[in-house]
Amino acid sequence: MPNVIGNYEASKKQREPFPVRPGLEVRVLSKIKEGAKERTQAFEGMIVATHGGGNGKTFTVRRVIGGIGIERIFSLNSPLITAVEVIGATKVRRAKLSYLRKSNVRRRRKEDSKVLQKTLAEKDEQRKAIDKARREADEAEKEGKRIAREKEEAEKAANEKPAEEAK
């Protein structure tokens, strides 16, 4: 039995292959069908891996949005892919760029720790401001009570003097 899969793939019409290799920054334009409408959607990111060969070749594109990594796998010979535009290229010495996942996680943790430290500092400042305001309010209240007490004592003294003079 000769190479049946190879013959089948050779008989299929091959279109111009898109340039895909790990390290390329690409924009993949794919057709999206929503009900009766059809539109083209762009997914922009870096190719982190390629898989397989022949008609079944796929490639994985990774993109980070809002600190969250999103990976999407595209079939190279899919009729839903209209174009693959190369935006930029990075020199890489690996076939699979899985280390990018970890570096983003590390960077994200570092950013989160900075944000957490900033948030804690802000909360600490707020707490100090609230404590200061409470202390000032307590001091003002004590001062008000002291003044009221002094007035009462002065009134008592004033009331007692006329009573003593009358005797």
Q: What is the pLDDT of residues 74-113, one digit of tens each?
A: 988 888 999 899 988 888 888 888 877 776 656 656 666 7
State residue 76's pLDDT score: 85
Whether the pLDDT of residue 1 is over 60: the answer is no
Q: pLDDT digits over 35-66, tens only?
A: 999 999 999 999 999 998 777 889 999 998 87
CA-to-CA separations, 28 to 7, 41, 64, 78, 95, in angstroms, rounded: 29, 8, 15, 12, 20
CATH code reported for the domain at 4-97 = 2.30.30.790
Looking from the CA of 32 toward its CB, the CA atoms found within 13 Å total: 8
From start to end of the chain, where are the E strands?
24-34, 37-51, 58-65, 68-75, 81-89
Structure tokens belonging to residue 138: 């307590």
Q: What residues does each domain of the chain span?
A: 4-97, 98-167
